Structure 1
Amino acid sequence: MFDIKSFFKREVEKKLINVDDYIFMPERVEMELEGGQLNCVLNSDGRVDIFYSKEGVTEVGSASRKHPFTAFEKELYHGVYDDVITELVKEVDKIIDGSSKYFRRSQTLPFTAALSQNPADSNKF
């Protein structure tokens, strides 16, 4: 049997959740998080860009706006974008804790033979 009430409810939810039909006032929220700087930016097209920087390493993530009629800060405080933020923090920490097998800060170059002062002297051999 066809339930007309649930059909209308689903159609209304689709209209409310479709953020492509809305134009948002751009907003920016900045905060300190786990020793780094978190910047959350709501763009006018409904895209949320999230930047996390720590010790010179920056990772960027993006999400679409979830609830068009809720204040952006309220969405952030209720943890709507916590999954994206958690992933960014993990990636930055992974980069900071990692090390390259090719580049080392404490690596010193070996000593080489001294070069002669006069380039003409080296052509005698």
Structure 2
Amino acid sequence: MFDIKSFFKREVEKKLIDVDDYIFMPERIQMELSDGLLNCVLNSDGRVDIFYTKHGITEVGSASRKHPFTAFETELYHGVYDDVIADLIKEVDKVIEGSSKYFRRNKVLPSPASLPSKPSNI
């Protein structure tokens, strides 16, 4: 049997979730997280950009807005973007814990030759 109520409910949800039809007021929320700085930016087109910076290393992720009629801050507090944030933290930590086989902190790099203070007249 055809359920008209569920059909209309699906159509309404589809319209509500399609964020391409909405223009959002840009918002920015900052917080300290895991010894780093997390910036979450809601753009007017519904794209959410998430920046995580720790010890000078920055990783950027992006997601689309999930619920157009819910406050952006509420979405963040309910963990809608937690998977993107967790991936960013993991990538930054991987860079911080890594080391180069070519550059070492205890190895002094040669300095370039200094330039003369007065130009010579040739």
Partner of 2:38: 38
State the match for 1:74 in structure 2: 74
Partner secondary structure for residue 28 of structure 1: strand
Mind listing any 5+ residue stretches in structure 2 that lack a counterpart? 110-122
TM-score norm. by structure 2 comes to 0.86
Task: Give the aligned partner of residue 19 of structure 2.
Answer: 19
Per-residue Cα deviation, 1:29-74 (whole angstroms, up to 9, x for no partner)? 0000010000000000000000000000000000000010011111
Stretches of 4+ moved more than 2 A in 1? Answer: none
Alignment of 1:1-125 (within 5 A): 1-108=1-108
Cα distance in 2 between the residues matched to 1:52 and 1:37? 6
Note the aligned Cα RMSD (angstroms): 1.4
Q: Deviation of residue 3 (structure 1)?
A: 2.0
Question: What CA distance in whole angstroms lies between the structure 1 residues aligned with 2:100 and 2:82?
Answer: 30
AA matched with 2:43:
N
- SS of 1:74's partner is helix
SS in 1 for 2:80: coil
TM-score (norm 1): 0.84
Structure 2 distance, partners of 1:47, 1:108, is: 44
Q: Aligned letter for 2:24?
A: F
Partner of 1:121: none
Distance in 2 between the 1:108 and 1:33 partners? 34
Q: Which blocks of at least 5 consecutive residues in structure 1 are unaligned?
A: 110-125
Q: Partner of 1:113 in structure 2?
A: none
